[in-house]
Amino acid sequence: MITLYGFGESFGLPEACPQVIKAEAQLRMAGLAYVKALSVPMPGRRLPWIEDDGRSVAGSHFIRLHLERKYGIDFDSGLGAVERAQAWAIERMIENQSGRGSEAEILAQGVRSLSALAALLGDRPFLMGLRPTAVDAAALGLLAGLTRPGCEALLRRALTFGRLTAYVDRMMAGVYPEFAWTPLDFPDVAVAA
């Protein structure tokens, strides 16, 4: 049995840590049985981490690689080589939002990244098409935190993207159907990149 370690439900989300949401979404997308345990980061370990048959794996990316190898899962099944490269580039953009610079520069980088993400999503239900892939798990981790009620994050105050909010709603309904998600209602506003 796989054990996923995280912070637990908090801030109106099923998990306080975006990377744990990503790992949990991957487990659920793969249909793998797991239990969840509360943990705090330990020296030499970062959250999330899993225990799987006595093996510890830390970091959402390395958890993904472990699940793909051990269980024969391909989270990007159906994507060609170019689409896989695009998905990887999008995932890296999503996960590298803690930039350097002034508050205004960091805000501008974040707004540009979210504007790009909204453009990439377009009218599709998921980032790479008709079904969720690994990049959707990463996007859910970041965007659920930004669109949750009560969030006062700097980026949240600076933008509204109805398209991304609807996307988060779809992902939450698919990944966490048992969780009482209360989405925010944002209009779809164009933001200059």
Structure tokens at 16: 């306080």
Query: What pLDDT does residue 189 have?
Result: 45
Residue at 45 is within a domain: yes
Does residue 105 sit in the same domain as residue 163? Answer: yes
Residue at 46 is within a domain: yes
Residue at 187 is within a domain: no
Residues pairing with 52 in the sheet = 2, 55
pTM: 0.85
In the numeric block, the tokens 């472990």 are attached to: 66
Does residue 9 sit in the same domain as residue 57? Answer: yes
Confidence of residue 154 (pLDDT cuts 50, 70, 90): low
Q: Work out whether strand 2-6 and strand 55-58 pair parallel, antiparallel, or are unpaired.
A: unpaired
Q: Which domain holds residue 140?
A: 81-175
For 179-188, what is each residue's pLDDT tens digit? 887 765 544 4
For 92-115, what is each residue's pLDDT tens digit? 998 886 767 787 787 778 888 888
In DSSP notation, the chain reads -EEEEE--SBTTBS-S-HHHHHHHHHHHHHT--EEEEE----TT--SSEEEETTEEEESHHHHHHHHHHHH---TTTT--HHHHHHHHHHHHHHH-----S-HHHHHHHHHHHHHHHHHHHTTSSBTTBSS--HHHHHHHHHHHHHHSTT---HHHHH--BHHHHHHHHHHHHHH-TTS--------B-----
We report the CATH number of the domain holding residue 100 as 1.20.1050.10
Does residue 7 sit in the same domain as residue 63? Answer: yes
Q: How far apart (Å, rounded) are the C-alpha atoms in residues 94 and 164?
A: 13
Residue at 163 is within a domain: yes
Does residue 87 sit in the same domain as residue 160? Answer: yes
Does residue 61 sit in the same domain as residue 96? Answer: no
We report the CATH number of the domain holding residue 13 as 3.40.30.10
- Among 25, 40, 71, the domain-final residue is 71
Report the domain count for the chain. Answer: 2
Number of residues in the chain: 193
Average of per-residue pLDDT across 22-29: 97
- Residue that wins the pLDDT comparison between 104 and 58: 58
Does residue 88 sit in the same domain as residue 162? Answer: yes
Residue at 141 is within a domain: yes
Residue at 182 is within a domain: no
